[in-house]
């Protein structure tokens, strides 16, 4: 992909936005693993933990980019990313097992291991958005470093204040997933007609957003009331 082409910059912006949307996991992992350290050690844990996590993530993403060239895996990756886009919208309790550490290198190890375990969503999303361009992968992930270190906590606060931003992020992931599916070689011809192509993209995006909205609505309705009724 030509670095000066609009497609390159559109893909790069998509990758950076994906990193921003999914950076909340990193903030939670870093915060939980390093919260028992002194302020000075917390800075070191954040730096080295993030450095290790990003290095592993770059290697994993490059590997996934190559794997997606195998027939059928782009379809599988796209379907998995549809699920990830949906899960982004619903509440998640996957960070309870991240324990705080009271020494620097144990905290760094926890950050790196936990991020590697929970970073599959980011790896698949970035690999799908890059469409096989390794330069895009590396640039996008390197740009994401300051986002992870300094911007993720701020982004969480913004999302908490403006919840619809999460839906925008989920929509971007769903869009990326749908494009991955349409780029699968053995079904690519099905989407040769632009009307079919765009209809499929819209159906996937709307389907994910509506499913997430309905799931959240059911969750709110299903929560027990905090008020106590007194019998007369």
Tell me the pTM.
0.65
Calculate what percentage of the chain has a pLDDT beyond 90. 8
Residue 104 lies in a domain: yes
Domain that residue 78 falls in: 6-219
Task: Confirm if 175 and 13 have CB atoms less than 8 A apart.
Answer: no
Residue 195 lies in a domain: yes
d(CA 156, CA 159): 5
pLDDT band at 103 (very low <50, low <70, confident <90, very high): confident
Residue 231 lies in a domain: no
Residue 227 lies in a domain: no
* Residue appearing with tokens 């390794």: 134
How many domains would you assign to the chain? 1
List, for residues 113-170, the tens digit of each pLDDT value. Answer: 766 665 666 777 777 777 777 788 777 777 766 666 665 556 556 666 777 777 887 8
Residue 96 lies in a domain: yes
What's the confidence (pLDDT) of residue 197? 92
Q: Helices (H) and strands (E) in the chain — how many of each?
A: 10, 0
Residue 138 lies in a domain: yes
Residue 185 lies in a domain: yes
List, for residues 172-212, the tens digit of each pLDDT value. Answer: 888 888 888 888 888 888 998 999 999 999 999 999 999 98
Contacts 24+ apart (CB under 8 A), 26-29: 26/50, 26/53, 26/115, 26/148, 26/152, 27/148, 27/152, 27/153, 27/155, 27/156, 28/95, 28/98, 28/156, 29/95, 29/98, 29/110, 29/111, 29/114, 29/115, 29/118
Q: Give the mean pLDDT of the chain.
A: 74
Residue 42 lies in a domain: yes
Other C-beta atoms closer than 10 Å to the C-beta of 65 total: 20
């Amino acid at each position: 992909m030509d670095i000066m082409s609009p497609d390159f910059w559109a893909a790069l912006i998509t990758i950076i936005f994906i990193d921003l949307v999914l950076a909340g996991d990193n903030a939670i992992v870093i915060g939980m693993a390093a919260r028992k350290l002194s302020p000075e050690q917390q800075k070191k844990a954040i730096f080295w933990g993030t450095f290790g996590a990003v290095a592993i993530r770059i290697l994993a993403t490059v590997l996934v980019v190559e794997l997606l060239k195998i027939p059928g895996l782009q379809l599988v990756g796209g379907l998995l990313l549809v699920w990830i886009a949906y899960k982004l919208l619903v509440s998640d309790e996957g960070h309870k097992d991240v324990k705080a550490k009271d020494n620097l290198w144990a905290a760094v190890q926890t950050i790196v291991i936990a991020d590697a375990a929970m970073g599959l969503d980011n790896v698949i999303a970035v690999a799908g958005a890059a469409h096989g361009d390794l330069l895009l992968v590396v640039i996008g992930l390197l740009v994401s470093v300051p986002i992870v270190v300094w911007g993720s906590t701020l982004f969480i606060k913004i999302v908490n204040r403006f919840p619809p931003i999460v839906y925008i992020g989920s929509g971007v992931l769903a869009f990326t997933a749908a494009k991955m599916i349409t780029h699968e070689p053995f079904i690519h011809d099905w989407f040769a007609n632009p009307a079919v192509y765009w209809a499929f993209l819209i159906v996937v995006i709307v389907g994910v957003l509506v499913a997430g909205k309905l799931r959240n609505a059911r969750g709110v309705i299903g929560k027990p009331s905090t008020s106590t009724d007194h019998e007369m």
